[in-house]
Amino acid sequence: MADLFTQTASTQLYRMFLAVLFFHTSEFILAVSIHGRSKVSLSSLLISRGYLVAMAFSVLEYAFEIWMFPDLKEHWGISNLGLVMVLIGEIIRKLAIITAGQAFTHLIRTRHEEQHELVTHGVYGLVRHPSYSAFLIWAVGTQVMLCNPVSTVGFAAVVWRFFSKRIPYEEYYLRRFFGSNYLDYAKRTPSGVPFVK
Ligand SMILES: C[S@@+](CC[C@H](N)C(=O)[O-])C[C@H]1O[C@@H](n2cnc3c(N)ncnc32)[C@H](O)[C@@H]1O
């Protein structure tokens, strides 16, 4: 376990800690500034039990591998690629939240509210679900950054599965709210999540 205190481990784990802290804190601050403190709960930090289990697993994987296979963590090209993915994911996600503004709710709307307008500009002109594409890139990036092979595949599979179910549900309501406008938008704009139409 002394291996956990090497320069490599402290740099990689510190980057991971900063990435997670920045992601959730900025998510919460943005939600409060867009919707107001009274409408934002701790769930806006996007921390669920499943998420905590996945993060704990990734740290355990890291500890095990740096102990048993320390050379695996010395692939700095891969680790830095993960850092770039984390930064790209952050930027796209925040652009999506700011672009959608009031339309961006952490819980999927199932009732149409008068002020809810269809957003098709900015990053929403490139893909229909920019914040989900961004989260997928961010989450997988955290594991690439740690050079964690098992969690890289695991995070990709779990996050993809989550969005592959969430997108049809979310779009069912968007079609009800915006009718042919949403259908036209969906025809010309990809979902942004691989293999989800
Ligand atoms: C967590 S946000 C995610 C938005 C989008 N799926 C994304 O990945 O950027 C979910 C909320 O955004 C709303 N929403 C999603 N796409 C939208 C759009 N193009 N215009 C307006 N509201 C949208 C949904 O009604 C839902 O309440």
User: Does residue 46 carry a pLDDT above 80?
Assistant: no
Residues in CB range of 84: below 8 A, 6 or more apart: 141
User: Does residue 141 carry a pLDDT above 90?
Assistant: yes
Mean pLDDT, residues 52-66: 96
Mean pLDDT, residues 17-28: 95
75 Cα: distance to centroid of ligand 1 (angstroms): 37
ipTM of the complex: 0.98
* pLDDT of res. 107: 87
Percent of the chain with pLDDT over 70: 95
Task: Give the span between the Cα atoms of 79 and 85, in whole angstroms.
Answer: 10
73-117 tens-digit pLDDT: 999 999 999 999 999 999 999 999 999 999 999 889 999 998 999
The residue to mutate among 92, 99, 104, having the most atoms of ligand 1 within 8 angstroms of its beta carbon, is 104
- Is residue 5 packed enough to be buried (19+ CB in 10 Å), middle (13-18) or exposed (0-12)? exposed
What does pLDDT average to over the chain? 94
Mean pLDDT, residues 39-63: 86
Mean pLDDT, residues 164-187: 97
Residues with CB under 6 A from ligand 1: 96, 100, 103-106, 108-109, 118-119, 124, 129-132, 170, 173-174
For the full predicted model, state whether its pTM sits above 0.90. Answer: yes
User: Does residue 3 carry a pLDDT above 80?
Assistant: no
* pLDDT of res. 65: 97
